[in-house]
Amino acid sequence: MAIVNVHLILGGTVSMICPARVVEAGADGLLLWIAPGTPVWRAELPPGTHLRDLPPDGSYPLRASRWRRGGALILQPAGAGHAVWWTFTEEQEFRGWYVNLESRRREGADVHVTDQELDITVTPDRIWEWKDEESFAAKTGHPVYWTAAEAAAIRAEGVRVTALVESSSYPFDGTWCDFRPAASWTLPELPALPLGPVTAPSGVLVLGKAGRIGHRPAGSPPWSERAVAAAVAGGGHLHDGDPAEPATWGYEAVAVRAAADRPLAVRAWTAPSPFDGEPVISSLEVSLGLPWDHAAHGPGPFPLGDLPVDRGGMVLGDARALDGVEVPDGGAVAGPAGVVEVGGCRVLGLRWGPGDHSMRHRGERAYGRVYPVTLEERTGEAVLRWAIPPYGTPHPAEDED
């Protein structure tokens, strides 16, 4: 049975990404199940705060977490400005309904839910009341949220739902109140983590080490020029050292063509580090915004080269913008995933955490710890993919300092 990833958003800020099992899907909408203990990405907020009470221009990192409540069955009616939640205890006893007033946008396996603050709680005996009226009113008129006219439409949507409650009409007629998930349903995996987007106005995207990014042998052209040349040739590997052999401790990167006129989405899949249990990127995908070129790359995947993981971080962004990135020797990019503006471009810095002591995360080409970067096709579009095997037992050569 299919899984969709529900992105919960308030004021432009993602508060959670939660995988949900599709119970029913059709022209009328989706019916989803979130099981207790489901792995989620959750925004890390200042202690004791709720996203509704924080300024809308804040940026909060997403951390791996778990669904902390009992299970929830969620009806997302097609075209409606609300969802209905059946909430259950961990023992699967029905607790009541929750009506979330929201707008939704579906993109493949992702459902982006923009919360509209005003909600309705409904008890099992169908006594209802508004929730968060004060904060809804306080946000009305703010440019990030909704206008007065939009607020009136949101409340009117809620009034229509309360009429269904009062008449005991579906979905408040007792349907699904005795829902039991199948015993064979396992918890879904933690979904991909959106990291970007980045931009490449030059039409060339580069993924490379942060360490020694400012180093260039005397008389050699800027890295951006070498990146453009590699991309024009179909994409490839640029590095210090001999043309056929990257320098063990030098700079290196891969470069590919990318759409110049739009943001490029970046997603990461993670695996826990055995050193501190924190998620570490195990594969990275960048949507390049270009159709797959069968003539140049065949069916794919098309190899671009291999890269070590630089413990000081990796940098992903426009070829020309990367000439302006400054990372001091021995320093690290901000992270674990931070977007900065460089030369008018969105550049993403990827930093592996200080708890990760693996030699393979120190740019150790000398130890053979390099991982393939490929061009691949996804539903007719080209993506850049970098695969780093999840951790098993640490290699005997890895130190522990």
Q: What is the pLDDT of residues 323-335, one digit of tens each?
A: 776 655 544 444 4
Assess whether pLDDT exceeds 90 at residue 262. yes
In this structure, the answer to whether residues 198 and 265 fall within a common structural domain is yes
Domain boundary among 113, 147, 166: 166
Nearest residue to 305 via CA among 234, 378, 217, 221: 234
3-state class (DSSP) for residue 115: strand
25 and 141 both lie in a single domain: yes
* Structural domain includes residue 235: yes
Spatial distance between the Cα atoms of 252 and 241, rounded to a whole number of angstroms: 10
pLDDT value at residue 384: 96
Asked whether residue 133 falls in the same domain as residue 263, the answer is no
* Same domain (yes/no): 7, 137: yes
Residue 78's domain spans which residues? 3-166
Same-domain pairing of 161 and 19: yes
Residues 115 and 37 in one domain: yes
Identify the CA nearest to 76 among candidates 145, 128, 7, 150: 7
Which domain-ending residue is among 131, 166, 201? 166
| Nearest-angstrom CA–CA distance, 119 and 83 | 10
For residue 356, what pLDDT is reported? 46
In a domain, 187, yes or no: no
Mean per-residue pLDDT for 245-257? 87
Assess whether pLDDT exceeds 60 at residue 383: yes
User: 285 and 146 share a domain?
Assistant: no
Judge if 221 and 156 occupy the same domain.
Answer: no
Same-domain status, 94 and 157: yes
- The answer to whether residue 398 sits within a structural domain is no
Q: Token pair for residue 163?
A: 């009429």
pLDDT, tens digit, 9 for 90 and up, residues 25-78? 999 999 999 999 999 998 888 787 777 777 776 667 788 899 999 999 999 999
Residue 228 lies in a domain: yes
Whether 263 is in a domain gets the answer yes
pLDDT at 169 over 90: yes
The count of structural domains within the chain is 2
Does the structure show a pLDDT above 70 at 88?
yes
313: in domain: yes
- 62-66, 138-142, 370-374: least confident range: 62-66
pLDDT of residue 368: 76
Given a cut of 50, whether residue 259 has pLDDT beyond it is yes
- Is the pLDDT higher at 113 or at 370? 113
Which of 128, 148, 166 is at the close of a domain? 166
Please check whether residue 225 is in contact with residue 323, taking contact to mean a CB–CB distance below 8 angstroms. no
The per-residue pLDDT for range 336-367, each reduced to its tens digit, is 455 666 666 667 766 655 444 444 444 467 77
pLDDT average, residue stretch 81-95: 97
133 and 255 in a single domain? The answer is no
The answer to whether residues 98 and 119 touch, using CB atoms and an 8 Å cutoff, is yes
Q: Name residue, tokens 């049975």.
A: 1
Per-residue pLDDT band for 401 (boundaries 50, 70, 90) equals: very low
356 within a domain of the structure (yes/no) = yes
Same domain? 123 vs 264:
no
* Radius of gyration (C-alpha) of the chain in whole angstroms: 24
Query: Which region among 14-23, 89-98, 237-246 has the lowest average model confidence (pLDDT)?
Result: 237-246
C-alpha pair distances (Å), 201 with each of 152, 232, 242, 257, 319: 41, 15, 30, 11, 9
Does some domain include residue 186? no
Q: What's the pLDDT score for residue 340?
A: 63
The per-residue pLDDT for 357 is: 42
Q: β-strands 110-122, 3-10: how paired?
A: parallel
CATH number (domain holding residue 20): 2.40.380.10
Structural contact between residues 111 and 4, judged by C-beta atoms closer than 8 angstroms? yes
Grade residue 400 by pLDDT with cuts at 50, 70 and 90.
very low
Q: Are 28 and 129 part of one and the same domain? A: yes
Distances (CA, A) of 401 to 36, 222, 275, 277: 38, 35, 11, 17
pTM, full prediction: 0.79
Mean pLDDT of the chain: 85
- pLDDT in the model for residue 389: 77
* Residues with Cβ within 8 Å of residue 265, at least 6 apart in sequence: 194, 196, 197, 286, 287
